[in-house]
Structure 1
Amino acid sequence: MPKVNLHKRDYLNNLGTELDMSEFETKLAPKFDSPAKRVNRSPYLNQRNVDYRWKSLNNPSAQAQLLDPHTEAQMEAYEKNIEFFIGTLKMPIGTAGPLRINGLFAQGDYQVPLATTEAALVASYNRGANLITAAGGTSAMLLNEGVTRTPGFAFKSLVEAGQFVAWLVTQFDYFKQLAESTTSHGKLSDVSVNIEGNHVYLVFEYLTGDASGQNMVTIATNVVFNYILEHTPIEPDYAFLDGNLSGDKKANSQTLRSVRGKKVTAEVTIPAELVEKYLHTTPEKMAQFGQMTTVGGALSGTIGINAHYANALAALYIACGQDAACVAESAIGMTRMEVTAKGELYASVTLPNLMVGTVGGGTGLPSQKACLDLLGLSGSGKSQALAEVAAGLCLAGELSIVGAFCAGHFSRAHHKLAR
């Protein structure tokens, strides 16, 4: 079948017709004149340095928006979270709920704060949350926890790699002592070995308490890594603290059957009359949509099957001081929708990579802590509950968006709310 391009702009093919070669060379050539603006790069956050930066930037209107009096009064709170501070960014926040969670750790009705600039998003999650609550709430279960860091070592041969591993496995107890000496919260729960030819990858897996824990496991593993390099009887040709096996901030399939961060599953069973009332469609139609999009996802090579976990997690992570870049891995998972023998809709989500915490990172910043306080999930002992809420929120979003497609409302809702 011929490929049809209704409108395509190929810049490479148009180079010869739209740009003469001398101009082309000038545009792409290195330029060594002095930069127009240099901003103070002192590591210290104080009024003098902030004022100096704004003097260099010379944009009073931008300064008025980013360094308002409230931000200026609180700026010391950001000292451990940002370099070269110039102000704060304001994003609109709405709440979706009540979202009833019947979990091992999260129990109750939650108004979930979502920070986004995408119209229709909060309304969609709110609709799904209200449907779940009307059906008695979602059952949510934290299944597993663990954060990894994966050093890699290269040797001249497989023989050397095997000899290295033979020494390595005798050191695991000491590795645990070393790693845990760097943190009062983290626990080294497992070390596994992967050999690929003359390369060896170690997977250090930690429990990180109520912190998301990525910095924690990096610091702990680095101590062990340095010990290995100093004491191994088989010296590697080269080695790195992380060999990219952890899946850190990247979509990856390995954790679909294991865990990185917190692994949570959530389910709900919804009577047909509630599906009709809230979503204006039927359980059968929603199950059919799930079947078709599962095949579509397989054809596209997607990792996991879901409609839009990323929307929920990005908005929740930004509002609640999580590492927003972790959405790349956290938004992987499985959504299923089936019709029960009673004609009800059964829906479930499983997310194996939820990187969430309620202490550390950005969770203590003024606005972000306020959002966690709205959930009642700020501070120690709350991270497992936050993970279950996140899974319930994703389930709400899956129900709402699938319902919108089945009822033919998806485009209409965006046209109405986004315009």
Structure 2
Amino acid sequence: MSQHKISQAPVPMRLVGPVRIVGDVVDDSVMLPLATYETTLWPSVGRGARVATLAGGIQATVLDERMTRSILLEAGDAGQALAAWQSLSARKEDMNMVVRETSRFARLIDMHHQIVGNMLYVRLEFTTGDAAGHNMVTLAAEKLQDWLLTEYPALKYTSISANYCTDKKATAVNGILGRGKSVVCELTIPRDLCERRLKTTPEAVVDLNIKKNLIGTMLAGGIRSANAHFANMLLAFYLATGQDAANIVEGSQGIVHCEVRDGDLYFSVSLPNLIVGSVGHGKGLGFVEDNLRLLGCKEDREPGGNARRLAVICAASVLCGELSLLAAQTNPGELMAAHVKFER
């Protein structure tokens, strides 16, 4: 069997910022490492970062965190599947004893289920410390599945991954139940700052958000998503910090909400599915470790503290880019002029 040398696929990377972030998880000014081929992203996020900092900083709140894996089991009929679930749902402590055998950090915090015919889908939800947790929860799910098949002889194995997780697919379940870190970032921009730095008005941004992000996405059949380009910032940030880039599929399912408040612009981004970690797979490369240290995500904190900080900074970068793009799109010709200037 031939062995192929592992090579690198370089992606241009640049530090953007600083941006001021305030909140319980991050209270700091940070630079944002972004790796992307879309070079207009750097000045755009940079403009959003300057505006956010001048406005007093982005308020960031971590609402929830959990990593999921769903398993699929089959019973003889729906009655057997329901009986198994009713018993299983009362045995979380027994299940956590099994989970503890697989990891020091994984902990089962919740479960959800669906029954289709004789098939039992179980969505297992864990906390995973500072790791994103893909492998951690899959190993825990595998051990739990083995235990279930012993404890409940009426069940049989079908799959270790049942697509009810849901991993790297656009679904409603992740937005409803959560997968990864759920983060909200908010900013209030004074009217004069909005007009001077963003070349637009609070009313124009709010109007465009309704007509483009909300109504336009509804017409397109979007799933729990109303944003202009979350995926751009997520991909750039994920590549720069050693994340599994395919998770931008569910990560980009987020919502922009903005209002005019006493003449100023209130602007927010809500991201319920940010799957990031400061340790684990993808973190061994030198530039990744350098970026994580730069972001303050390699410190001696309580388990999960570095990953929560990383998620907040990631969400802040999304707000900066989203704000700048929406402002640009309120002005005819501005978006394309920027691309021509920086990319041709």
TM-score strictly above 0.5: yes
TM-score, normalised by the number of residues in structure 1: 0.78
Larger Rg: 1
* 1:253 matched to 2:172: yes
Alignment of 1:165-314 (within 5 A): 165-169=85-89, 171-236=91-156, 238-293=157-212, 294-303=214-223, 304-314=225-235
* Displacement after TM superposition at 1:115 (Å): 0.4
- Which structure carries more strand by proportion? 2
* 1:399 matched to 2:323: yes
Say which structure, 1 or 2, has more relative contact order (CA 8 Å, 6+ apart).
2
Q: Equivalent residue of 2:206, what SS?
A: helix
1:160 aligns with one of 65, 73, 80: 80
Instruction: String of CA shifts for 1:320-378, please: whole Å, max 9, x gaps.
Output: 011111111111111012111x2101101110000011111112321111111222222
TM-score, normalised by the number of residues in structure 2: 0.94
Partner Cα distance (2:90, 2:232) in 1:
45
Partner Cα distance (1:308, 1:328) in 2:
12
Letter in 2 for 1:287: V
Alignment of 1:19-98 (within 5 A): 39-40=2-3, 53=4, 85-98=5-18
Residue 411 of structure 1 is matched in structure 2 by 336
Q: Indicate if the aligned counterparts of 1:153 and 1:200 stay in contact, CA closer than 8 A.
A: yes
Q: Indicate if the aligned counterparts of 2:89 and 2:111 stay in contact, CA closer than 8 A.
A: no
Q: Equivalent residue of 2:330, what SS?
A: helix
* Displacement after TM superposition at 1:227 (Å): 1.5
* Displacement after TM superposition at 1:165 (Å): 2.4
Residue 278 of structure 2 is matched in structure 1 by 358
Partner Cα distance (2:297, 2:140) in 1:
27
* Displacement after TM superposition at 1:168 (Å): 2.7
* Displacement after TM superposition at 1:215 (Å): 0.5
Residue 323 of structure 1 is matched in structure 2 by 244
Q: Equivalent residue of 1:118, what SS?
A: coil
* Displacement after TM superposition at 1:263 (Å): 0.2
Q: Equivalent residue of 1:378, what SS?
A: coil
Residue 62 of structure 1 is matched in structure 2 by none
Unaligned stretches of 5+ in structure 2?
none
Unaligned stretches of 5+ in structure 1?
1-37, 41-52, 54-84
Instruction: String of CA shifts for 1:175-209, please: whole Å, max 9, x gaps.
Output: 11001211011111122332233221111110001
Alignment of 1:91-106 (within 5 A): 91-106=11-26
Q: Indicate if the aligned counterparts of 2:62 and 2:312 stay in contact, CA closer than 8 A.
A: yes
Partner Cα distance (1:166, 1:281) in 2:
56
Count of paired positions: 337
Letter in 2 for 1:248: D
Q: Equivalent residue of 1:377, what SS?
A: coil
Partner Cα distance (2:325, 2:168) in 1:
25
Q: Equivalent residue of 1:310, what SS?
A: helix
Q: Indicate if the aligned counterparts of 2:174 and 2:250 stay in contact, CA closer than 8 A.
A: no
Residue 62 of structure 2 is matched in structure 1 by 142
Letter in 1 for 2:159: F
Q: Equivalent residue of 2:276, what SS?
A: coil
CA RMSD of aligned residues (A): 1.5
Q: Equivalent residue of 1:152, what SS?
A: strand
* Displacement after TM superposition at 1:170 (Å): 5.0
Q: Indicate if the aligned counterparts of 1:163 and 1:234 stay in contact, CA closer than 8 A.
A: no
Q: Indicate if the aligned counterparts of 1:135 and 1:270 stay in contact, CA closer than 8 A.
A: yes
Partner Cα distance (1:296, 1:397) in 2:
19
Letter in 2 for 1:137: G
Q: Indicate if the aligned counterparts of 2:20 and 2:58 stay in contact, CA closer than 8 A.
A: yes
* 1:129 matched to 2:53: no
